[in-house]
Structures are given as C-alpha cells and as structure tokens.
C-alpha cells in the first residue's frame, strides 16, 4: 500500500516537472528552419482576412460595442437576430482564389466575444443563434477545398466574458482607478485565461491543419493588458505544440522572447522600407481594409480604388512583405458588391501578372526604380519586374542597366519590348521602347530577363 502511494507521488512529481519544463520552453529553431517553415507564406504574398461576427448586423464598425458604449444586454439583440441564411463559404473561397489569394484568416472570435465556432466553453456562439450551425467547420472545409491555407484570428480581448476585467479598451471603461477597481471586483482573469486556453485548444485541435493563428491584441500599460494578463507564453507554447508548422503574428506582447512571434503586422500603413528588428530584415505582412472598418460597414464610403489595391500588393512585395486584404461579410453571409468588384478586378490583374508577385521580393540594391515605377524580383528565375504605376510616353530609361539585361517583355501578353543602349551622355542607360498606348491592364508590368 505504502509502496503504491510512493509511486503515485513520484509519478505526479515527474509529471509536474515535465509539464513545468514544457510550459517554460518555446520550441527552438534556427534561422534557416524558420525561413523554411514560413516559405509557403512568404512565397504566397497575398491572403484574405475575414472579419465576421455579430457586428455585421449593426453594420457600423466591428468596434461598435465600444464606440457606442453598448452593454451586453443591449448587444444581445444582434445575437438573437444572427441568421446569415446566404452563408456559402465555398463562394467566399472561390472569390479569394480568383483574386489570387493563397491563404485566409477568419475571426473565430473578435473583441465582442461572440464565437463563430461550436465551443464547449461558452453559450455565446453561432450554434445558439437562429442560424444554429458551426460556421468555422464549413469555412475550413471550403477554403481547403480551393487549395488555400487556412488560418484563424482569435481575439485576446473579450467584451462579453464575465471574468474579463474592464480595461481602457472596453465598452464599460471608466475614468478613474477606483472606478475600475470597483467594476472589476469579482472578475477573475485566471478564469478568463483558462477560457482562452481551452478555446485555442479547441480551434487548433478540432479543425485539422491550421496554418496561421492571429492573436489580437496586447496594449500594455495603465489599465491595459500585456503578456502576463494573457499568459501569452503558454498560449503560444500550446499553439505551437498542437500545430507545429503554425505561423503566428506578433501581438501577444512577446517581442523580446525568442520564438515569440513569426512576423510583424503593420496595420493599415504602407511601410517606408523593409522593416528590421535588431538590425535584421524580418518577415512582415500588412493587413489592410478596403474602406477603413474591418467589419461590414454599410455607410462607409472611403473605399480604395482597384489600382490603389493592386499597388498596395506590389508595394508590399517590393519591400519583401505580404498583403492580407480584409473582407467584412454582411449579416446575410455574403461579400457586398463593392468587395466583390474589388476582388474581381484584383483577380483579373493577378491572372496575367501574378509572376511579379508569387515567390517575389525586394529587388537587389543594384537596380534603381525609374520614377513612377515599383520593382519586384524573383530570385529563383532571376527576373526583375517593373510595375508602371504611371504609364510613360513611349520610352522608359533604365539607368546603369545596359549590360545586365537579356530580354524584356510585357508580362500580361509576353510581347517583346525592344531596347537600345544609350550613348554619349546616356552611356550606361538602357532605353526601352514602349507602345504609346497603355496596355489594357490596370497596372502594366515589364518582365526583365537578367543576364
Ligand atoms: C485592430 C482592431 C481590430 C482588427 C485588427 C486587424 O487591432 O482591434 O478590429 O481586427 O486590428 O488587424
């Protein structure tokens, strides 16, 4: 009997030590291994973000609950009305694929706390709305069937959970510390941390291979939340152990931790140059909206044009980055016409020009972009791509390139572009002879075969 007790104690101790050890460590990998793990993503360059939740019903920003200081009770009507009868993720997936996107990230839960998936740990989920189904399951299957890599966005912030403490980014936020303390009496972040862990485990266990997870977001400081509040390291540790290949964003507040993030995520900005960390160029992806809001916003009229969106993609690639372009589906479950139109036009351009995007990156420093052009480069094929943002008048001069070029053609139709070397003052400059009329593509691209 005693012996049995002893062995149980030893076993428990052993398990404790093992679990402590595995809690503390993120998997180690070399720089080369990380590049390899992320290769499909860096080659892909273009993905779709999808922000969908109850906020599609008010249709005036996914932060509407905070902006209008709405209580859980008042917000409940959207839960009771949620019934996206036209939801057909195969149609979404087709549109993403046609646009040229290679991966997708959907909000499994956004800040409002509503879960699109059938979580065991809450009643606040799609299966309990009039719609009555797990939206995530169909989503995962549909996008996979179209050959896209599938990812989830999971909000660290939660404006519905009773144990999530009120902070400065909360609809019920207040303006004094004593008022915060009063409101937060009885709220237990330990329980909320457990809740998150359980949900992330569900998401990364029940839906097959998940290629990306987006945790969003930390805001350390006064009345804010950072890695200690989320227990970020153990969340991440768990994510990586459940899905060893998974790619993770940088919003867990683990910037200083080795393996604490895979890429940085500049939001709604055009970066000035390839971002660096500790003096090294790092993987990055800019996430962008069509019009400003991430969730469906009926009355927002600040939509980017087709040309602007294509430029955003090219620009990102030209600095070694990715573009994650967002769609906010309606409460019927459809992409609204403006989004469909933009995706279609990107698809038309991508169909003929995607060689300047997939597998491409920043051009070697020896090539200087002529005015009004953006360069990308494919290191495997050794081709340079010149994107003509403003179409020139019949001639384009490439400085210092006369001995570097083998052949030039338009990318969209593979028609030859003749060139000649300059002389005298223009020695060293190569002059491309372009047709006077701009070819019928939103942004024309020259494909340059280098020597
Ligand atoms: C912000 C916003 C959020 C959006 C996200 C996308 O952090 O809180 O609404 O989901 O950016 O990057």
Question: What is the span of the domain harbouring residue 256?
Answer: 31-356
Which positions ≥6 away from 266 have C-beta within 8 Å? 275, 284, 286, 287
Domain-located, residue 7: no
Predicted pLDDT at 65: 98
CATH of the domain at 291: 3.20.20.80
280/427 same-domain check? no
380/329 same-domain check? no
Q: How confident is the model at residue 15 (pLDDT cuts 50, 70, 90)?
A: low
Q: How far is the CA of 213 from the centre of ligand 1 (A)?
A: 14
How far apart, in whole angstroms, are the C-alpha atoms of residue 333 and residue 169? 28
Question: CB–CB of 376/356 below 8 Å?
Answer: yes
Domain-located, residue 12: no
Q: Mind listing the pLDDT tens digit for each residue in 132-155?
A: 999 999 999 999 999 999 999 999
φ, ψ of residue 397 in degrees (nearest 5): -100, 130
Domain-located, residue 294: yes
Q: How confident is the model at residue 19 (pLDDT cuts 50, 70, 90)?
A: low
Cis omega (within 30 of 0) for bond into 217: yes
Q: How confident is the model at residue 24 (pLDDT cuts 50, 70, 90)?
A: low
Q: Mind listing the pLDDT tens digit for each residue in 261-278?
A: 999 999 999 999 999 999
Q: Is 217 in the pocket of ligand 1 (CB under 6 A)?
A: yes
How far apart, in whole angstroms, are the C-alpha atoms of residue 65 and residue 342? 28
How far apart, in whole angstroms, are the C-alpha atoms of residue 327 and residue 106? 10
Q: Is 62 in the pocket of ligand 1 (CB under 6 A)?
A: yes
CATH of the domain at 430: 2.60.40.1180
Is the model's pLDDT at 49 over the cut of 80? yes
Q: Is 287 in the pocket of ligand 1 (CB under 6 A)?
A: yes
Q: How far is the CA of 95 from the centre of ligand 1 (A)?
A: 23
Domain-located, residue 296: yes
208/315 same-domain check? yes
**Minimum CA distance residue for ligand 1 atom 10:** 294
Of 307, 331, 356, the residue at which a domain comes to its end is 356
Q: Which of 216, 289, 328 to mutate to test the pocket of ligand 1 (most atoms within 8 A of CB)?
A: 216
One-character DSSP codes across 271-322: -SS--EETTEE--BEEEE-SSS-SS-BTT---PPPHHHHHHHHHHHHHTT-E
Q: Are strands 430-433 and 418-421 parallel, antiparallel or unpaired?
A: antiparallel
Query: Mean pLDDT of all residues in the chain?
Result: 95
Percent of the chain with pLDDT strictly greater than 70: 96
310/409 same-domain check? no
How far apart, in whole angstroms, are the C-alpha atoms of residue 123 and residue 143? 26
How far apart, in whole angstroms, are the C-alpha atoms of residue 426 and residue 146? 50
Of 312, 328, 356, the residue at which a domain comes to its end is 356
Q: Mind listing the pLDDT tens digit for each residue in 65-75?
A: 999 999 999 99
36/114 same-domain check? yes
pTM above 0.85, yes or no: yes
Domain-located, residue 25: no
Q: How far is the CA of 392 from the centre of ligand 1 (A)?
A: 39
Residue 49 CA: which ligand 1 atom is closest? Answer: 6
358 closest CA partner among 382, 377, 386, 374:
377
344/379 same-domain check? no
The 8-class DSSP code of residue 353 comes to H
Q: How far is the CA of 14 from the centre of ligand 1 (A)?
A: 42
Q: How far is the CA of 2 from the centre of ligand 1 (A)?
A: 57
Residue 217 CA: which ligand 1 atom is closest? Answer: 7
213/311 same-domain check? yes
Stretch 400-423: mean pLDDT: 93
Question: CB–CB of 271/286 below 8 Å?
Answer: yes
443/325 same-domain check? no
Total domains in the chain come to: 2
Q: How far is the CA of 342 from the centre of ligand 1 (A)?
A: 21
């Amino acid at each position: 009997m005693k012996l049995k007790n002893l062995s149980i104690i030893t076993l428990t101790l052993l398990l404790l030590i093992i679990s402590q050890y595995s809690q503390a460590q993120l998997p180690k990998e070399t720089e080369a291994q990380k590049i390899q793990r992320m290769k499909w993503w860096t080659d892909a360059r273009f993905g779709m973000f999808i922000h969908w939740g109850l906020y599609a019903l008010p249709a005036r920003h996914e932060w509407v609950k905070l902006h209008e200081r709405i209580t859980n009770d008042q917000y409940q009507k959207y839960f009771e009305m949620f019934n996206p009868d036209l939801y057909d993720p195969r149609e979404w997936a087709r549109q993403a694929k046609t646009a040229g996107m290679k991966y997708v990230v959907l909000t499994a839960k956004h800040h409002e706390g509503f879960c699109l998936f059938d979580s065991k740990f809450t009643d606040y989920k799609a299966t309990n709305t009039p719609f009555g189904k797990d939206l995530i399951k169909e989503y995962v299957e549909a996008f996979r069937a179209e050959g896209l890599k599938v990812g989830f966005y999971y909000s660290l912030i939660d404006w519905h959970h009773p144990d999530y403490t009120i902070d400065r980014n909360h609809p019920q936020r207040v303006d004094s510390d004593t008022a915060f303390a009063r409101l937060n009496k009885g709220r237990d972040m330990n329980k909320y941390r457990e809740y998150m862990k359980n949900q992330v485990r569900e998401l990364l266990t029940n839906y097959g291979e998940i290629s990306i997870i987006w945790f969003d977001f930390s805001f350390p400081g006064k009345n804010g939340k950072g890695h200690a509040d989320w227990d970020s390291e153990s969340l991440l540790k768990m994510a990586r152990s459940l899905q060893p290949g998974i790619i993770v964003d940088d919003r867990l507040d683990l910037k200083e931790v080795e393996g604490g993030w895979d890429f940085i995520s500049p939001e709604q900005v055009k970066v000035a140059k390839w971002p660096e960390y500790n003096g090294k160029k790092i993987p990055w992806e800019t996430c962008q909206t069509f019009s400003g809001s991430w969730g469906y916003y009926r009355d927002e009229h600040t939509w980017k044009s087709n040309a602007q969106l294509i430029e955003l993609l090219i620009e990102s690639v030209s600095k070694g980055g990715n573009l994650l372009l967002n769609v906010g589906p309606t409460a019927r479950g459809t992409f609204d016409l403006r989004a469909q139109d933009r995706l279609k036009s990107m698809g038309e351009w991508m169909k003929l020009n995607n060689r300047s995007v997939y597998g491409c990156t920043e051009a070697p420093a020896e090539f200087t972009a002529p005015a009004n052009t953006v360069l990308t480069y494919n290191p495997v094929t050794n081709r340079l791509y010149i994107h003509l943002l403003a179409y020139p008048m019949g001639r384009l001069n490439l400085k210092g390139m006369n001995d570097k070029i083998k052949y030039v053609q338009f990318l969209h139709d593979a028609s030859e572009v003749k060139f000649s070397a300059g002389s005298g003052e223009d020695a060293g400059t190569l002059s491309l002879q372009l047709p006077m009329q701009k070819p019928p593509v939103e942004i024309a691209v020259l494909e340059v075969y280098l020597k």
